[in-house]
């Protein structure tokens, strides 16, 4: 068994944390921004220093590859992203890049024999924070392999038109054209030239830490659905309309939201998660009774039957009366649970066990590039703990020791795949 180098990992953590630093312990590093290009420059510098060949594709995805001993074998890729959410942390996404770099640096430094070429990859615009949607480039690259209801959202021509959330004028395509890392479509990740993909990531939740485990062996990305729930009432003056005559859409929405929580909790599924993260209130004036409220409901669970039971509750809102207001329910999008390749999952499990790291099977409630790539080739993920479960925020933290453990598991799992694939 091989282990990665903690000092080298810490060096990468400290350096990447400078690119887009907020001054409060976190980063804002939008895709294709100057800060993201600084991160890519550093990646290129370190990878070229160990003899890796750098390639880029038409979506500015970046690939650093060291050769294997058997010419003609497809590559094994380790991938993640270097962009962040606004005021995010120093580990989401970039840990997977640092882990991939560390694997290649360890292989070269230790002269570890391997048959396949090994590739560290940076995926463009995974977060979609500046140019929606999330997982943009993996959606474009994997387009032909995605289910139809997902595929339709990732047409390249549509992605190029995506407008910046900051100025509403600059498009992703314009930013891409200005990027020094825009390359050729022929260099894209594909199932002919690549045999398998691994992605190292922080858990982004408290499960591993609460269980006292060091490694999460990721089995799947949870299925989910997102619906909009709208209530229509009547705007009137806040100071002159008697309470019994009001059609207050916000009051109706509040009643319905409480109802949803009560009814969904009755299902008795502690692993089920659901969230209302966006609320629109119209006209949003303190002297006017709201006439329209629109809120989101995001539901995630592995089992489609459980999701269907929740959906029945959500749809039932339309059939009930809410403070004399009309209710409308509309689907935004949904996805099935995506299961990772059992053989690769087994290599992760074996590697964690052989290294003596306490581990457990775990699912991912968050979306990742790996879930799209899994439609195209064998794929899996590795989780390491997130302190206090924090992620997508500045307090996000995973210790250098934990980061190195995750990279070590990935290294050995990749070597197992290297030994057994394409025999």
CATH of the domain at 204: 3.40.630.10
- What pLDDT is attached to residue 333? 87
Q: pTM, whole model, 2 decimals?
A: 0.92
Q: Helix 400-420 and helix 94-110: axis angle, to 10°?
A: 60
pLDDT digits (tens, 9 = 90+) for 92-121: 999 999 999 999 999 999 999 999 999 999
- What pLDDT is attached to residue 300? 97
Spans in the chain with pLDDT lower than 70: none
Q: What is the C-alpha to C-alpha distance for residues 405 and 410, in angstroms, rounded to an integer?
A: 9
Instruction: Count structural domains, the chain.
Output: 2
Domain check: are 116 and 261 in the same one?
no
Phi-psi region of 257 (alpha: psi -120 to 50; beta: other; left: phi over 0): alpha
CA distances from 14 to 89, 95, 222, 228, 361 (A): 12, 12, 32, 41, 30
pLDDT digits (tens, 9 = 90+) for 125-149: 999 999 999 999 999 999 999 999 8
Collapsing DSSP to helix, strand or coil, 109 comes out as helix
Domain extent, residue 169, equals: 6-222+337-420
- What pLDDT is attached to residue 168? 86
DSSP-derived secondary structure for 32-81: TSHHHHHHHHHHHHHHHHTTPEEEE-TT--EEEEE--SSTTPPEEEEEEE
Report yes or no on 402 lying in a domain.
yes
- What pLDDT is attached to residue 68? 97
Max Cα–Cα distance, the chain, nearest Å? 82
Q: How many CB atoms lie within 10 A of CB 166?
A: 12
> Which H or E run contains 353?
helix 342-355
- What pLDDT is attached to residue 336? 93
Quote the tokens at residue 172: 């992703």
Domain check: are 196 and 134 in the same one?
yes
Q: What is the C-alpha to C-alpha distance for residues 61 and 59, in angstroms, rounded to an integer?
A: 5
φ/ψ of residue 127, rounded to 5: -75, -35
Domain check: are 139 and 60 in the same one?
yes
Report yes or no on 1 lying in a domain.
no
Domain stops at, among 318, 335, 352: 335
Domain check: are 101 and 218 in the same one?
yes
Domain check: are 203 and 299 in the same one?
no
Domain stops at, among 314, 335, 356: 335
- What pLDDT is attached to residue 422? 85
Domain stops at, among 311, 335, 359: 335
- What pLDDT is attached to residue 368? 94
Domain check: are 284 and 415 in the same one?
no
């Amino acid at each position: 068994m091989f282990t990665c180098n903690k000092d080298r990992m810490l060096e990468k953590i400290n350096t990447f944390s400078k690119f887009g630093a907020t001054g409060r312990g976190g980063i804002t590093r939008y895709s294709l921004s100057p800060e993201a290009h600084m991160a890519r420059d550093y990646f290129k510098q370190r990878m070229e220093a160990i003899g890796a060949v750098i390639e880029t594709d038409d979506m500015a995805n970046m690939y650093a590859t060291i050769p294997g001993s058997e010419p003609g074998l497809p590559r094994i890729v380790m991938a993640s992203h270097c962009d962040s959410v606004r005021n995010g942390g120093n580990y989401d996404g970039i840990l997977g890049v640092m882990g991939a770099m560390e694997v290649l640096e360890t292989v070269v430094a230790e002269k570890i024999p391997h048959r396949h070429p090994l590739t560290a990859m940076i995926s463009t615009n995974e977060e979609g924070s500046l140019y929606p949607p999330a997982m943009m480039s993996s959606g474009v690259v994997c387009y032909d392999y995605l289910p139809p209801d997902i595929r339709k959202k990732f047409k390249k021509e549509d992605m190029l038109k995506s407008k910046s959330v900051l100025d509403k004028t600059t498009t992703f395509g314009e930013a891409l054209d200005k990027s020094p890392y825009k390359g050729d479509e022929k260099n894209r990740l594909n199932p002919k030239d690549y045999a398998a993909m691994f992605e190292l990531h922080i858990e982004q939740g408290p499960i591993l830490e609460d269980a006292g485990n060091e490694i999460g062996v990721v089995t799947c990305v949870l299925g989910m659905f997102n619906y909009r729930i709208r209530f229509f009432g009547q705007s009137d003056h806040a100071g002159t309309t008697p309470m019994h005559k009001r059609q207050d859409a916000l009051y109706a929405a509040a009643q319905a939201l409480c109802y949803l929580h009560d009814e969904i909790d009755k299902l008795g599924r502690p692993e089920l998660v659901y969230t209302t993260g966006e609320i629109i209130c119209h006209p949003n004036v303190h002297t006017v009774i709201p006439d329209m409220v629109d809120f989101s409901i995001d539901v995630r669970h592995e089992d489609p039957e459980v999701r269907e039971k929740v959906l029945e509750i959500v749809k039932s809102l339309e059939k009930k009366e809410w403070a004399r207001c009309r209710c409308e329910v509309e689907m935004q999008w949904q996805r099935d649970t995506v299961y990772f390749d059992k053989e690769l999952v087994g290599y992760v499990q074996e590697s964690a066990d052989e290294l003596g790291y306490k581990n457990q099977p775990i699912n991912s409630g968050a979306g990742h590039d790996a879930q799209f790539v899994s439609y195209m080739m064998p794929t899996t993920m590795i989780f390491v703990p997130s302190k206090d479960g924090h992620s997508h925020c500045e307090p996000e933290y995973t210790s250098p020791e934990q980061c190195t453990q995750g990279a070590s598991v990935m290294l050995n799992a990749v070597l197992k795949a290297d030994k057994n694939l394409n025999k």
